């Protein structure tokens, strides 16, 4: 079949070439020899004979292709049916096996699940009971705590109590940094006045060791206006309302400073300025942030505001000043002691010179004793030598006496 297709295609190509040639010939209208025309005519007649053969060959090839395709489709259908039947059989077997395994698993899971659920249920019920007991106990503690918080709130509502809390905090900071003889609590700084400042720091006088200057420190806590300001900032109220709350806060701070100025600044008993202690860093930061307010307190009321942190730094600097002043006061005593030491050292030098002279004299005496000792040793040596020379004569005399 393939060879016939190739032959047919070759013939078609030849026909195409001939047709092209004929068309070219007609277009150019050139003279062709009769022999060539005859040959071309015979070729055309041959091609006309081949045309039915080609057509019949194409028909036959198409029928064969259709038959082969039909046979292939039938064979594929048969193969697919066999495969489908085999797959169905295998699926049935797998399904049956799975159902069997699932049934076994279900029984096992049911047994284990029942046991596990009962165990977990008992454990959970026990845990819930314990937790409920703890919650009940916690509720009791919360009631007690709420009662305590309510009592604390009632205490904190009292402005005097808030002042006492600030005073306690101020005293704690002073006790940590200063010695007990450097400050005093509840001190009256004006004669005949019943007003007492929370604490005073005793500043030593540079010119007199017996006189001290008092630095007043009083605790203030304008809580209500400060809390109102914080609530306004958090609520983001309009600017005009915020300005009113801010002015109220500044007026409250100025009132506290004026109170300290009028009651506790009394030169020359006290310094010409005082310290206002605020017990929270937030309140201190809010005052310092308002530069004009801070400068007004210092300029108009002679009051400096401090918080817990910078109060400690301020007290530490005071301690350094106290130590420097103590060193300056003791410097004269040190020079006097050095003068006495110098005099005594000079006397000590004289004593050392006398001792040296006596030691030199004793050394000379010792040298003289050594000379005498050597002279005596020479004398003794000569005596011993003389004695050794006389000894044989005496021995011989004694040995001859019995023979006579």
**pLDDT tens column, 151-177:** 555 545 554 555 577 888 899 999 998
Does residue 110 lie in a domain region? yes
Q: What is the β-pairing status of strands 212-219 and 303-306?
A: unpaired
pLDDT of residue 211: 76
- My answer on whether 173 and 233 are in the same domain is yes
Q: Which two tokens stand for residue 244?
A: 């009113």
- My answer on whether 307 and 244 are in the same domain is yes
- My answer on whether 278 and 176 are in the same domain is yes
pLDDT of residue 292: 93
- The whole-angstrom separation of Cα 29 and Cα 198 is 139
Domain ends where: 106, 136, 157? 157
Q: Are the C-beta atoms of 292 and 321 separated by less than 8 Å?
A: no
- My answer on whether 99 and 233 are in the same domain is no
Number of residues in the chain: 404
Count how many domains the chain has: 2
Q: Which two tokens stand for residue 133?
A: 């007991």
- pLDDT tens per residue, range 60-95: 878 888 888 888 888 888 888 888 888 888 888 888
Does residue 337 lie in a domain region? no
Domain ends where: 141, 157, 173? 157
- The whole-angstrom separation of Cα 238 and Cα 241 is 6
- The whole-angstrom separation of Cα 9 and Cα 16 is 10
- The whole-angstrom separation of Cα 24 and Cα 20 is 6
Does residue 257 lie in a domain region? yes
DSSP summary character for residue 182:
G
Does residue 96 lie in a domain region? yes
Q: Exposed, middle or buried by CB within 10 Å (0-12, 13-18, 19+), for 306? A: buried
Does residue 112 lie in a domain region? yes
Q: Are the C-beta atoms of 226 and 253 separated by less than 8 Å?
A: no
Q: What is the β-pairing status of strands 274-277 and 212-219?
A: parallel
Does residue 384 lie in a domain region? no
Q: Number of C-alpha atoms within 13 angstroms, CB side, residue 105? A: 6
Pick the residue with more confidence: 304 or 106? 304
- pLDDT tens per residue, range 92-134: 888 888 888 888 888 887 777 777 877 887 888 788 888 888 8
pLDDT at 263 over 90: yes
Please tell me the pTM assigned to this model: 0.46
- My answer on whether 122 and 178 are in the same domain is no
Q: Which two tokens stand for residue 278?
A: 């605020």
User: What's the Cα-to-Cα distance from 122 to each of 47, 129, 135, rounded to whole Å?
Assistant: 103, 10, 20
- My answer on whether 133 and 241 are in the same domain is no
Q: What is the β-pairing status of strands 303-306 and 274-277?
A: parallel
- My answer on whether 178 and 311 are in the same domain is yes
- pLDDT tens per residue, range 173-189: 999 988 888 899 999 99
What is the span of the domain harbouring residue 122?
A: 91-157
pLDDT at 400 over 70: no
pLDDT at 370 over 50: yes
- My answer on whether 251 and 115 are in the same domain is no
Pick the residue with more confidence: 205 or 311? 311
- My answer on whether 292 and 223 are in the same domain is yes
Q: Exposed, middle or buried by CB within 10 Å (0-12, 13-18, 19+), for 319? A: middle
- The whole-angstrom separation of Cα 285 and Cα 306 is 10
Does residue 353 lie in a domain region? no
- My answer on whether 180 and 320 are in the same domain is yes
- My answer on whether 169 and 148 are in the same domain is no
Q: Number of C-alpha atoms within 13 angstroms, CB side, residue 130? A: 6
Give the number of other Cβ atoms within 10 Å of residue 390's Cβ.
Answer: 9
Does residue 397 lie in a domain region? no
Domain ends where: 279, 295, 328? 328
- My answer on whether 108 and 200 are in the same domain is no
pLDDT of residue 118: 79
């Amino acid at each position: 079949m393939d060879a016939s297709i190739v032959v047919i295609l070759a013939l078609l190509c030849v026909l195409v070439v001939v047709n092209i040639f004929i068309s070219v010939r007609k277009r150019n209208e050139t003279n062709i020899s009769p022999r060539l025309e005859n040959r071309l005519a015979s070729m055309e007649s041959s091609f006309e004979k081949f045309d039915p053969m080609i057509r019949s060959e194409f028909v036959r090839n198409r029928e064969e292709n259709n038959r082969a395709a039909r046979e292939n489709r039938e064979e594929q259908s048969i193969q697919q049916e066999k495969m489908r039947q085999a797959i169905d059989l295998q699926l049935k077997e797998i399904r049956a096996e799975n159902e069997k395994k699932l049934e076994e698993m279900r029984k096992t899971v049911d047994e284990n699940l029942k046991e596990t659920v009962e165990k977990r249920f008992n454990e959970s019920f026990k845990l819930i009971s314990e937790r409920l007991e703890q919650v009940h106990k916690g509720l009791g503690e919360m009631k007690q705590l709420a009662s305590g918080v309510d009592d604390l709130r009632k205490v904190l509502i009292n402005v005097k109590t808030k002042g006492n809390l600030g005073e306690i905090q101020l005293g704690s900071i002073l006790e940590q940094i200063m010695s007990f003889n450097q400050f005093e609590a509840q001190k009256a700084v004006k004669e005949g006045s019943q007003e007492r400042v929370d604490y005073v720091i005793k500043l030593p006088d540079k010119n007199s060791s017996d006189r001290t200057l008092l630095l007043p420190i009083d605790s203030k806590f304008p809580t209500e206006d400060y809390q109102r300001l914080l609530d306004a900032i958090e609520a983001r109220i309009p600017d005009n309302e915020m300005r009113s709350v801010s002015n109220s806060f500044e007026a409250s701070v100025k009132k506290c400073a004026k109170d300290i100025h009028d009651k506790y600044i009394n030169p020359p008993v006290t310094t010409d300025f005082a310290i206002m202690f605020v017990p929270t860093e937030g309140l201190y930061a809010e005052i310092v942030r308002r530069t004009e307010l801070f400068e007004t307190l210092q300029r108009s009321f002679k009051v400096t505001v401090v918080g817990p942190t910078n109060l400690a730094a301020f007290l530490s600097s005071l301690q350094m000043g106290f130590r420097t002043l103590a060193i300056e006061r003791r410097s004269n005593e040190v020079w006097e002691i050095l003068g006495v030491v110098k005099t005594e050292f000079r006397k000590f030098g004289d004593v050392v010179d006398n001792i040296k002279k006596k030691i030199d004299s004793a050394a000379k005496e010792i040298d003289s004793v050594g000379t005498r000792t050597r002279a005596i040793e020479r004398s003794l040596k000569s005596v011993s030598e003389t004695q050794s020379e006389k000894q044989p004569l005496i021995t011989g005399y004694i040995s001859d006496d019995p023979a006579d």
